[in-house]
Chains A and B, each alone.
Chain A
Amino acid sequence: MEKLIYLDNAATTRTAPEVVEAMLPYFTEKYGNPSSVYGFASANKEVITQQREKIAEVLGAKTDEIYFTAGGTESDNWALTATAEAYVSKGKHIITSRIEHHAILHTCEYLEKRGYEVTYLDVDENGLVDPNAVEAAIRPDTILISIMFANNEIGTIQPIREIGTIAREHGVLFHTDAVQAFAQVPINVDEYNIDMLSASGHKLNGPKGIGFLYIRKGVKIRSFIHGGAQERKRRAGTENVPGIVGLGKAVELAAATMAERAEKETKLRDYMIGRIENEIPYCRLNGDRKKRLPNNINFSFRFIEGEGMLISLDLKGICASSGSACTSGSLDPSHVLLAIGLPHEIAHGSLRMTLGADTTREDIDYTVDCLKEIVADIRNMSPLYEDFLKKQRK
């Protein structure tokens, strides 16, 4: 295989070989339905509980507060719609931010069409939500606050502890989309006053199609999928046993290596940010410099459009992503980059690189070397750069 430098770990990650190995017996050998009575199958029920325990332990939660889902998007949909339904007698107001994942934002739009009111909080130039703004937005009819733990594009980590405390003081439920943060940074649901938390397996070297929603005991929440008695009747359907086993293994591995990984990735991240800032002119780091996921790097390069960068990087064997419109099929660039105040043309020139456990310093050096050339080449073709240089000369 040709050289492949995978810097898109926020999109998905490589399933760890240990995870695949743990899953395999549950396809061809231990394939029984956990709801069946005979021992061959019902042993799988115990296996599922063990995975739930592992996850609960990492979050400081109770075992039966973990509900398996098909992934982060489902967890987000569930948390919002089912809370909205269950708490409608209290009110129809939800607070969230402008930089949430579409799994949250589009679910909010769906609820708005059904008579709910949503407050979308602004963020500052680094993508941070102001806890005071959260408090100010709370009304007597507010039923839910949903703020992501860390942003998927710019990596900004929100003041979740402060927001959780405010939510608790006001008796409002607090949900956090922790798809990017879970098992990357320490999270304790009691310390942070989190009532619900979404996470996904494939962002932490686990399999795709599996995730979970943490729901604090006592939270009234409606069943999301109706059918059998699985997941305490709240999310029916025969359990994805291999997926759950894979997720459990991935969480176990990620939790054990979290501190070490974070230290290594933070060093590489800051090294890469430093090199780009020193060697490529007219760039801007997007997201907070310190309150940032250890593996996230997001830059805007002025005068150029992101898709060209991605194709050129791909030709060099480097996988990255961009918030440009051209990569999404719409005319508007990323809502996150617009929310932090970037003008459209600068948002179009964004590049996200997200490191993984396997990323090396050589990978970073090679990528920055390629990127320098690519940015210079594309700028040479840009009429915006031409105009800029002419203005400079005047």
Chain B
Amino acid sequence: MYTEKVMDHFQHPRNVGEIENASGVGTVGNAKCGDIMRIYLDIDENQIIRDVKFKTFGCGAAIATSSMATELVKGKNIQEAMQVTNKAVMEALDGLPPVKVHCSLLAEEAIHAALWDYAEKNGIKIEGLEKPKSDIHEGEEEEEEEY
């Protein structure tokens, strides 16, 4: 069901943990739907992401996308980090099953939420960054009606 890359990141997740006094922290998703992602960013004075950590409650894909997303933003500046979209995360993992695409959206949202927190704390504006949604599943299509 999962690609080798997804399995690798699930079994050996990169950057698991917390950062004390992080420059920005973002938590998205909700426990009701079964996934929550939290991303910690440590950003230096040149707006470079020096370190990144994550904690995720969710399925194998949720854990793998969190891990990959942290790898993709590590060492980047905040503008580059904004380019790490859910599509980029999916491609880096060689794809996800259709029912798991929302996990990659959650990863993008989590990075954005952490960047938003950083921007707010520092009174800056990051181009293209919008206030994070409180629930990633809002507005998703209804389940197909049978019969």
**Residue ranges of A at the interface with B (Cβ–Cβ < 8 Å):** 106, 109-110, 113, 303-305, 307-308, 311-312, 315, 324-327, 329-331, 333, 343-345, 348, 380-384, 386
Contact = CB atoms under 8 A, between A and B. Distances in A.
Contacts of B36: 383-384
A187 to B, nearest CB: 32
Nearest to A348: B34
Contacts of A345: 31-32, 34, 57
B57 A333 contact: no
Interface stretch (B11-19, B44-52, B75-83, B87-95): B11-19
Interface in B123-138: 137
Q: Which interface residue of B13, B34, B54, B137 has the most chain A CB atoms within 10 A?
A: B34
Contacts, number: 78
A327 B31 CA distance: 15
Given A303-B57, A308-B59, A382-B56, A331 B38 contact: no
Contacts of B143: 330
B56 A383 contact: yes
A305 B58 contact: yes
Contacts of A311: 2, 7, 10, 60
A381 B16 contact: yes
Given A344-B34, A348-B31, A326 B13 contact: no
Interface residues of B, number: 31
B147 A304 contact: no
B16 A305 contact: no
B86 interface: no
A329 B99 CA distance: 6
A386 B27 CA distance: 12
Which 3 A-B residue pairings sit nearest by Cβ, starting from the closest? Answer: A345-B31, A326-B59, A307-B59
Nearest to A379: B57
Q: Give the residue among A305, A312, A343, A384 with the most B Cβ atoms within 10 A.
A: A305
Contact of B10 (A304, A308, A326, A344): A308
Given A305-B62, A307-B60, A331-B137, A382 B55 contact: yes
Contact of A315 (B11, B31, B32, B59): B11
Contacts of A382: 55-57
Given A381-B63, A382-B55, A382-B56, A305 B35 contact: yes
Contacts of B58: 305, 308, 326
A104 to B, nearest CB: 15
Name the residue in A303, A345, A383 with the highest tally of chain B Cβ atoms < 10 Å from its Cβ: A383
A333 B59 CA distance: 12
A380 B16 CA distance: 8
Given A330-B143, A380-B16, A382-B55, A308 B60 contact: yes
B16 A384 contact: no
Given A329-B99, A331-B137, 14 more contacts: A305-B57, A326-B58, A326-B62, A327-B59, A331-B33, A333-B34, A344-B33, A344-B34, A345-B34, A381-B57, A382-B55, A382-B56, A383-B56, A384-B31
B13 A305 contact: no
B146 to A, nearest CB: 8
Contacts of B34: 305, 324-326, 331, 333, 344-345, 348
A381 B56 contact: yes
A106 B145 CA distance: 12
Contacts of A343: 31
A370 B143 CA distance: 36
**Among A380, A381, A386, residue most surrounded by chain B Cβ atoms (within 10 Å):** A381
Contacts of B60: 307-308, 311, 326
B29 to A, nearest CB: 9
A17 to B, nearest CB: 30
Nearest to A381: B16
A318 to B, nearest CB: 15
A382 B59 CA distance: 11
A381 B31 contact: no
